[in-house]
Amino acid sequence: MKAVVEAENISKSFGEKQVLQGTSLTVGEGENVVILGRSGTGKSVFIKCIVGLVEPDEGTIKVLGKDVLNINRRDMNAIRKDIGFLFQGAALYDSMSVRENLAFPLRTIKMNKDEVETHVKEALDNVGLAEAIDKMPAELSGGMRKRVGLARAIIMKPKIILYDEPTTGLDVITSREISELILDIQKKYNTGSIIITHDMPCAKITANRILVLRDGKFAAEGTYDELEKHENPDIKSFFEF
């Protein structure tokens, strides 16, 4: 399996608080990797390091074979076009319609108006929200906002998607729908993805592999079924819900 993300010995401190301590992870093409961990353990910091939003103190990170810690801004921006990011709150622009929110990432690509419209409609079709194209974010439910955020994350047909708590704040049925969409996107686009979540049903549905982050390091790794039976009670406790 070809690696799309290779992070080795990543360490990061904020003042006296060390968040990551020699953390390593490889994500393969077409693989969904879930990261579990208590709040404040550095999960979001880790994926921000991958996209260059946070610079680690130590370690190496390769994304699609490129050393992202030692490249210029232009090359980093080129790599980011191959990375979709679903933020925890969907992060839609409230002053823009759904159409405009989805078209926004396409501004860096030379496309005519018809091509932009085709991409926007295709992305919305993929998340089952074609009818919401002219709505404003304030008119959308929480689940619909997540779907639009997901549509925006995939509109550039990325090779990597980073999901930060994709089902937070959603009811059980909507959470399952979002989790199933993550699987659909994985199959359709063969994306390599990192999914940060506290939602164990989401982890069970989406994960090919799960890692548990504790004290700045990955303390356990395996499938959902393997970790559910883990001998360490702290690891096993994640699966008791």
> First CA to last CA across the chain, in angstroms?
33
Q: Could you tell me where in the chain the CATH 3.40.50.300 domains are found? A: 3-82+158-239
Nearest CA-CA partner of 165 in 191, 202, 192: 202
**pLDDT of the residue at 126:** 87
Residues 6 or more apart whose Cβ sits within 8 Å of residue 224: 203, 204, 207, 210, 239
Assess contact for 74 and 16: CB atoms under 8 A. Answer: no
| Distance, CA of 30 to CA of 15 (rounded, Å) | 37
Assess contact for 145 and 137: CB atoms under 8 A. Answer: yes
The amino acid occupying position 115 is E
3-state secondary structure of 144: helix
**pLDDT of the residue at 46:** 93
**pLDDT of the residue at 163:** 94
**pLDDT of the residue at 78:** 87
The encoded tokens of residue 44 equal 């979001």
Q: Which residues of the chain have pLDDT under 50?
A: none
Residue 185 burial (CB count, 10 A): 23
**pLDDT of the residue at 90:** 64
**pLDDT of the residue at 88:** 73
Q: Over the stretch 67-124, which tens digit does the pLDDT of each residue have?
A: 999 988 888 888 888 999 887 766 788 899 999 999 988 877 777 888 899 999 999 9
Cα separations in angstroms, 37 against 59, 190, 200, 213, 224: 21, 26, 11, 5, 14
Instruction: Look up tokens 């810690």; give the residue.
Output: 69
CA triplet 71, 75, 76: central angle to 5 degrees? 75
The encoded tokens of residue 8 equal 């080795």
Q: CA torsion, points 201, 214, 90, 8, in degrees to nearest 10?
A: -110
Instruction: Please enumerate, as own/partner, the contacts of 108-113 that have beta carbons within 8 Å and a separation of 24 or more.
Output: 108/77, 108/81, 109/156
Assess contact for 189 and 94: CB atoms under 8 A. Answer: no
Domain 3-82+158-239 has CATH 3.40.50.300: yes
The encoded tokens of residue 204 equal 């069970």
Element at 48 (helix H, strand E): helix 43-50
